Amino acid sequence: MNKWKLLLPLFVCMLAVGCWNRVELNEIGIVSATGVDWKDGNWVLSYQVVIPQAISGMSGVGGGSAASVNVFSTKAEGFRAAISKASQETSRRLYFSHNQIVIVGQEAARKGMAPLFETYLRNHDARETVSVFLSKGSARHMLEQLIPLEKIPGAAIQRMITNEEINSSTYRQMTIHQVLLDLMGATKATGIPGLVVSGSRESMNRADKLSQTNTPSKVRLFDLGLISEDKLVGWISGEESQGVMWLKNHVKRAVIPFACTEEAKGQKSSSIRIIHAETKLRPEPSGGKWIMHVDAKAVGTLMEYNCGGDLSKPAQVEKAEKFIEAEITSIMQKGWKAVRKYRTDVVGFGNVIHKKYPKQWAEAKDNWTELFPQTTLKITVRVKLNSAGMSGSGFKSEQEKRRS
């Protein structure tokens, strides 16, 4: 048999040279989160490496016997150079494919995140589904924090943002992919949620601290960092961030407290749960400048209503809807003001204009940073209450009715 004679040497040299890429599971260090800092002209990369035995629960790990992750840093002038230095201080090959989040320290973000994106585009094991966060302090400090209820802090932060995105839409999960899409798009700007360690100054970096019922400090989402080109240009607050989300049509579900006036002033004692929202942007050129028609529609359920009036009457429902519309308009206005201040088009007006008026955009795009803040916003909001909840007029008004 001729072909067997041919196959044999093939097989032999195959086995003789074999197994180039082989890595056993106990030879890799699974990185669950990465931190990027800039310090004294060097990139400092921090890694949160999972310790599998501490997690898989074979040895009955309880509250605080051993930390489930280990954090360490390396530094070098280049990004990958820093990563490769890791082999000088760890016995295992760092494995980034299961990395869940990247936290960029404030300093590093102001310096510019281009090397980070470059790394993600060029390397196969770096995945664009990783969530990006900015950190108000150093990124490494964030990685060191243990999070109650969770074994792997990196995965926990990732789940935190998913939860936030789905349930209150103040911040949006920004994966590297989305950041790249925004930064390479027409406007070259985006917003990335920030992280802080709130509470006391005490760091949650010891497993035995989790054995208490309350933790002195915790990691939380805080503020939205505005990125232009590849640099951090400023922070806007959570409330303003929500306005940006409304403008960008990223609101999925949210709870919005509102006041009993149509000017959105006063005590916000009532609230609505938005279950569906959609924002449409329609640009209109007006003498070298732009008018942006923002058309938002929202459907929601009343959760709490302290404005009096009988909600079983349609007129009263319409009134309530007006209150909410006013509130949403004011949220958007706040967001818009904040963004305008930084001249960063994170709301993507430029994109919309590019799609609709490609020719005019070609003229406008060079001095868009100047034109953008001069855009006039025309906001119309339409809220539909599809349910006033399970009670009609409300506790207080019913009480008053009895009294009279």
Partner 1 sequence: MQQIGKNQLSILIIVFLIGSTPLFELGIKAKHDAWLAMILAAAAGLLLTVMYVHLQRRAPEAELAELYKMHFGRWIGGGIGLLYAVWFAYESMRNVRDVGELTMMALLTLTPKWIVMLLIISAAAYTVSKGLEVFVRVVQLLFPIVAASYFFIILLLFIARLPDPQHLLPILENGLAPVVKAAFPDLLSFPFGQMVIFLVFWKHVSEKKIIGRASYWSMIGVSAFLVFMNMLVMCVLGPELSAITALPLLEVVQLIRLANFLERLDVVVTLLLFIGLYVKMTALYMASVFTLNSVTGIAYRYCVMPIGAVIYASSFLEPNNTYHIWIGLDITLKIVPLFQVVLPFLMLVVGVRKRYKTN
Partner 2 sequence: MNKKNAGPLTPLSPSLHANAEAIRNRFGGSCDIVVRFFRSDAAPDRELAIIYVSGIVDAETINESVMEPLMSLKLPQHAYVKGGKLLEALRNCVVSIGSIKDVSTLEEALQCLTDGLCVIMADGSPAALIAEVCGGEQRGVTIPQTQTVIRGPQHGFVENIRVNISLIRRIIRSSDLHIQMHKIGRQTHSNVAVLYLHGTADESIVKEVYRRLAAIDIDGVLETGYIEEFIQDETFTLFPTLLNSERPDTVAAALLEGRVAIMVDGTPLVLMAPTTFFTFFQSPEDYYQRFDIASFVRIIRYAAYVVAMLLPALYIAVTTYHQEMLPTTLLISLAAQREGIPFPGLIEALLMEMTFEVLREAGLRMPRAIGPAISIVGALVLGQSAVQAGIVSAGMVIIVSFTAISNFVMPEFNMAATSRIIRFVYMLMAGVFGFFGIFISVLFTLIHLTSLRSFGVPYMSPLAPGPTKQGIWRDVFIRLPWWAIVLRPLDLSLRNPKRRPNGRKPPAQRHSDKP
Q: Is 181 in the site for partner 1 (CB under 8 A)?
A: yes
Q: Considering only 6-14, 80-88, 228-236, 263-271, which stretch makes contact with partner 1 by CB under 8 A?
A: 6-14
Least distance (Å) between residue 379 CB and partner 2: 42
136 binds, among partner 2, partner 1, none (CB under 5 to 8 A by kind): none
Min dist CB 88 to partner 1, Å, is: 20
354-373: contacts with partner 1 (CB under 8 A) = 354-356, 358
- x/- map, 52-91, partner 2, by CB under 8 A: xx-xx-x---------------------------------
Rank residues 18 and 358 by Cβ distance to partner 2 and give the closer one: 18
Residues 87 to 116: which contact partner 1 by CB under 8 A?
97
Told to check if 177 binds partner 1 by CB under 8 A, we report yes
Contact 393, 302 (CB under 8 A): no
**Residue 22 interacting with partner 2 (CB under 8 A):** yes
95 contact choice in partner 2, partner 1, none (CB below 5 to 8 Å, kind-dependent) = partner 2
Q: Does 128 bind partner 1 (CB under 8 A)?
A: yes
Spell 14-24 as b/e; 16+ CB within 10 A means b: eeeeeeeeeee
Is residue 6 near partner 2 by the rule CB under 8 A? no
Stretch that binds partner 2, among 96-104, 188-196, 311-319, 323-331 (CB under 8 A): 96-104
What does 163 bind: partner 2, partner 1, none (CB cut-off 5 to 8 Å by kind)? Answer: none
Which residues contact partner 1 by CB under 8 A?
3, 6-7, 10, 13-14, 17, 20-21, 97, 121, 124, 127-129, 175, 177, 180-181, 184-185, 351, 354-356, 358
Which residues contact partner 2 by CB under 8 A?
1, 4, 14-15, 18-19, 21-26, 28, 30, 32, 50, 52-53, 55-56, 58, 95, 97-98, 100, 125, 127, 152, 155
